[in-house]
Amino acid sequence: MSTPAISLFVRNENKESLVCFGAIILTASHNPGGKDEDFGIKFNNSAGAPATENITNKIFENTKKMKIYKTLNSEKTFNLETDFSLSIEGTKVEVKIVSSTELYKENMKQLFDFDKIKKLFSRKDFSFVFDGLHGVSGPYAVEIFKNEFGVKTENLLNCDNLPDFGGHHPDPNLVYAKTLVEKMDIAKKVDATLVPDFGAACDGDADRNMILGKQFFISPSDSIAIIAAQYKSIKYLNQVKGLRGVARSMPTSSALDRVAHKLGLKVILIK
C-alpha cells in the first residue's frame, strides 16, 4: 500500500474500537531502492499517523539490546489472493488479504467530485499525463485515472511498480522525474500545443508529489495555498461548510498567508 492508504486503512479499522495497533511500512521512500540500495521501515500508530519521535527513539534503543531474531521458514505455498492461517510456534496466526486500492479509491470519492473530474478528463481540449516512477502509486493511478476517468494507458508512465524502481531514483522533482519534465516541456523547446495540460508524479511510497502545468513547474510549497484558494471546488470542504482555518509549516510558502488574508482566515504557523 501507499503510505497515505495505509494510514487510511488503520483509521478505518479503528472507527468503532481499537482493533489495529498500527502499521509497519517497508519502503525506500523517495530514494533508490533494491537489495543494493536504500531500505527503510516506517511505523504508523493506531491513529494512522507517523510514530512520534519518543516512540522511534525507544525502538532504536531496543534494537541495540537485541541478542537474537527469529525467521519463519515454511514449505507451504500461500495464495495471496485469499485469507489464510499459519502456525508459529504453536500459535495460530490469521492472515487477512485486502485490496490495496479499493478503500483509498472509495475515500477519494467522498472527498472529491469524481463526476466533475471525469467530465474534465473527457474534454478534447484537456490532456493529462502521470508518472508513477515505478513506485507504489502505479496501481492507484491505473484504478483511478484509467478505470474511473478513462485516461489512456500510454499517458500513465512507469506505473508498473518495481521493487528497485527500475533502477531509478523515485523522487518527484525536476532532476529525477526526467521523463515527465521533458514531456511537460519545462524548458519550452517545442510548440506548446504539443504539450499536455497537466502532469503529475509521485515518489516511491506515494506520500510526496510534483505537479506540472503546460511548460511550467508548480512549487510544492504553494500546494496548500492553491487548495485553499480553490476549496469551493472540493466536494468534502463544501460538505463541512468550507474552510475553518489553514496551517503551514516551514516548507510552506507565504502564498498561503495571502490566500488566507483574502478569505478572512487565521493562519497558524507550526514551528
CA angle 175, 177, 183 (to 5 degrees): 110
- What is the pLDDT confidence band of residue 118, given thresholds at 50, 70 and 90? very high
Report pLDDT for 251: 85
Q: Are 244 and 119 in contact (CB under 8 A)?
A: no
Fill in the DSSP letter of residue 212: E
pLDDT digit string, tens, across residues 137-181 = 999 999 999 999 999 999 999 999 999 999 999 999 999 999 999
Indicate if the pLDDT at residue 268 is higher than 80. Answer: no
Report pLDDT for 87: 85
Compute CA 70 distance to the chain's CA centroid, rounded to the nearest angstrom: 32
Indicate if the pLDDT at residue 128 is higher than 80. Answer: yes
pLDDT digit string, tens, across residues 43-79 = 999 999 999 999 999 999 999 999 998 888 878 888 8
Environment class of residue 206 by beta-carbon count within 10 Å: exposed (0-12), middle (13-18) or buried (19+)? buried
Q: Are 22 and 158 in contact (CB under 8 A)?
A: no
The answer to whether residue 29 is catalytic is: yes
- Strand runs labelled E in 135-208: 156-157, 198-202
Element housing 256 (H / E): helix 255-263
Q: Per the residue annotation, which of 2, 29, 100, 221 is the catalytic one? A: 29
Cell 479499522 -> residue: 13
Task: Name all domains of the chain by residue range, CATH numbers in brackets.
Answer: 3-72 (3.40.120.10), 102-224 (3.40.120.10), 225-269 (3.40.120.10)
Report pLDDT for 86: 86
Environment class of residue 10 by beta-carbon count within 10 Å: exposed (0-12), middle (13-18) or buried (19+)? buried
Indicate if the pLDDT at residue 267 is higher than 80. Answer: no
Report pLDDT for 127: 97
Residue closest to 13 by CA, chosen among 87, 103, 73: 103
Give percent of the chain above pLDDT 90.
77
Reduce the secondary structure of 37-77 to three states and give it as a string.
CECEEEEECCCCCECCHHHHHHHHHHHCCCCCCCCCCCCCC
